[in-house]
Structure 1
């Protein structure tokens, strides 16, 4: 029985944790403290680097926002200046648009009175026509440059009708019914025109047969 008790006591002693002193690890307390301090310094350096990187990213983001804000402000200034210039340049557009029909009627009156070109009335109308032309020029208004034979452009012309023509090819302008006008680079009234169209197939064949005969 005593032998069994001794065996149990020895087993208990083996299972108990063994305290390790600096001498057991082979390091002194100073060395252990130095390692701890080095680990703390490395951790602080790593944290400082992380913080610096975060600050650099924040600075870069703020810089980008500032650059975008400056660009937006510059675009706003340019847009405001352009809008102001357009307001000055095209400020009388509505007046010109209302005046154009009067100018059209006056021009038709001039054509009708060409038979009396030597009369005082006709000469007076010529003076008025020159004044009207001078006023339009002072406002930057000019007639759309157009003549029969030019190609129809839907951006500047309104096709009022289509007619078959032996003189003009399909898509060419046969005649101008009403002048178009521009104010600077802006079209304020398209020209009304008659456009040539291709002849019907039956008529083309008949014309060919007549030519052969």
Structure 2
């Protein structure tokens, strides 16, 4: 082999060795790739958890519109029961029908409870809460504090921790307030 050929081979080897990454460069590249893999794995795990949570919520609240329809039935049963005549006026047959309606109403309330649907407790005199109440009107009265519930026009319901329907209420208005303001 001539000197010229040897010099050419040495130049090629020098170029190749200059192009070869060092062990340190390779180790740094490995660390970068490991970091990317760990981050990607963590992101996938977070996405899986978010998706599982979303699916669980969808399952819990999937029947919301059905539940709203059911509570309308509950309202009508409740109304029918509240208008039953006094015992002296009713015949035995009417009393049996009313007992049947009350039994159906009880069963319906049990079914709703088993599926996480519960009535919102609202009483006259309770402070108005816009999160669970819907004000239908104001009534001037000294019987209850200003801004508190006077009458429950329609019961409110929730499904687990979400509002299904607010309670429709009338709220107290202080009759003396308008006189002082006017």
Q: TM-score, normalised by structure 2?
A: 0.73
- The answer for the alignment partner of 2:149 in structure 1 is 173
Instruction: Please say if residues 136 and 169 of structure 2, whose CA atoms lie closer than 8 Å, have aligned partners that are also in contact.
Output: yes
* 74 and 166 in structure 1: CA distance in 2 versus 1, 3 angstrom threshold: same
* 199 and 120 in structure 1: CA distance in 2 versus 1, 3 angstrom threshold: same
Q: Secondary structure at the match of 1:87?
A: helix
- Structure 1 residue runs without a partner (length 5+): 1-43, 206-213
User: Quick check: 1:157 aligned with 2:133?
Assistant: yes
Q: Give the Cα–Cα distance (whole angstroms) in 1 for the partners of residues 26 and 172 of structure 2.
A: 72
Q: Secondary structure at the match of 2:49?
A: helix
> What RMSD over aligned residues (CA atoms) do the two structures have, in Å?
2.8
- Cα distance, 1:180 vs structure 2: 0.6
Q: Give the Cα–Cα distance (whole angstroms) in 2 for the partners of residues 84 and 106 of structure 1.
A: 34
Q: TM-score, normalised by structure 1?
A: 0.63
Instruction: Please say if residues 138 and 172 of structure 2, whose CA atoms lie closer than 8 Å, have aligned partners that are also in contact.
Output: yes
- Cα distance, 1:108 vs structure 2: 0.5
- The answer for the alignment partner of 1:145 in structure 2 is 121
Q: Secondary structure at the match of 2:86?
A: helix
Aligned pairs, how many?
158
- The answer for the alignment partner of 1:93 in structure 2 is 64
* 188 and 80 in structure 1: CA distance in 2 versus 1, 3 angstrom threshold: same
More off after superposition, 72-81 vs 138-147: 72-81
Q: Give the Cα–Cα distance (whole angstroms) in 2 for the partners of residues 93 and 190 of structure 1.
A: 14
* 100 and 63 in structure 1: CA distance in 2 versus 1, 3 angstrom threshold: same
Structure of greater relative contact order (alpha carbons < 8 Å, 6+ residues apart): 2
Q: Give the Cα–Cα distance (whole angstroms) in 2 for the partners of residues 77 and 197 of structure 1.
A: 52
Structure showing the higher helix proportion among its residues: 1
